[in-house]
Structures are given as C-alpha cells and as structure tokens.
Chains A and B, each alone.
Chain A
Amino acid sequence: GDSVTQMEGPVTLSEEAFLTINCTYTATGYPSLFWYVQYPGEGLQLLLKATKADDKGSNKGFEATYRKETTSFHLEKGSVQVSDSAVYFCAIYNQGGKLIFGQGTELSVKP
C-alpha cells in the first residue's frame, strides 16, 4: 500500500544552522504532499503543501519541492531558530482519498 518514509530523529541543531528533513513516498499517480508540524503540547498543524510535480511549498522560512522523479518532498530551512523545535510529519493525500503520515522527525534547536 501507499506509504511515507521520513529520516530518523531526533535531529539536534544549533541556532541558525541549515535544516534538511528527508521524506520519500510510495503512491500511485500524483498524490498531494504535505508537511505538518506538532509543537510541544499542541495539535498537528499544516506547515506547507504541494499538489503537483515541481510545485514548491513554503511557509515560515521552510520550503519543500514536489519531486515526482525521486518521489521525494524534503523539508528545508536555511536558518533554524529555537522556536522551530517540534516534531515534523510528512504526509500524502493519495488517489484513494486517504491522508497517510510518516513516522515523524523530532527537531531540537539549541541556542
């Protein structure tokens, strides 16, 4: 079945470091792709999305590009802040109408 695989965490970075969290998916056709974020003690919230190949989603300095050829949607940020510490989830909305999540990657940013 369709699935999402994320890089293992936790990821620990110093403030202002460059962030990459890898995400690859398995799905038929052209799923929509998402990154959700879960801050400590809060619910999941959408960070960014892309709905077709080569689309770039961006929000709060984070970016991810829909790469159909490599079935990937890697999350990047040029300069992380302590306030970015959270768990990040990659997700796909597949042709069957299901929203499928990866296992999550915990990010910890140190001052």
Chain B
Amino acid sequence: AQSVAQPEDQVNVAEGNPLTVKCTYSVSGNPYLFWYVQYPNRGLQFLLKYITGDNLVKGSYGFEAEFNKSQTSFHLKKPSALVSDSALYFCAVRDMTTDSWGKFQFGAGTQVVVTP
C-alpha cells in the first residue's frame, strides 16, 4: 500500500526564518508525491509535485521540496517564512497501483504557525 507520513502535528517558526515541513513516503514502484496547502474553511491548493527528474522541485508561493530516495523523504521547504504561510499542509502520494486510478493518500497534515 502507498502511504505518506508527516511526523509533526505542528511546526512553529518566526517570520523570516526557514520553514521545513517533513514528509516520508512508502510506495511500491515510482513515487508520485504532492504537497497541498489548506487554509481555514478552504479547499486544498496544489503547491508542487515530484514525478521524476531533478530532486529539487520548485512550486508555488516560493515553496520547494527535496526528493530524497535513500531516505524516502519529500520535505517541503521555504527559505523565508511569511505570516501568511500559516496554514495546514498535506503531503500526498498518488496511488498508481493496478486498479487504483490515481486516488490520493494524504498524510495527517502539519499545522504551520508563523509568528511575526
């Protein structure tokens, strides 16, 4: 079974400091990994994805993620956090096993709190 794990329920960071949100994955075959962000009472917004190619993936709003095959990780990063980055972040893997039709398996989510 495909799965992702987000080990931190919450990450606190001061504005201007680097932000890292951790995600590890467990898949059979090639991993198709995604990051989404959810603001209160809103839908999930796509940030970035890793399919193949460069291990460093750049996405929306200044976010990037580093794919590390040996550590089975796909951590989300931002060099300088903003207060407006405070939200719930979900790591997801797309299940491309036979008959799965690409449904997403989400991690439990990590609440990011950026303080001024």
A binds B: no
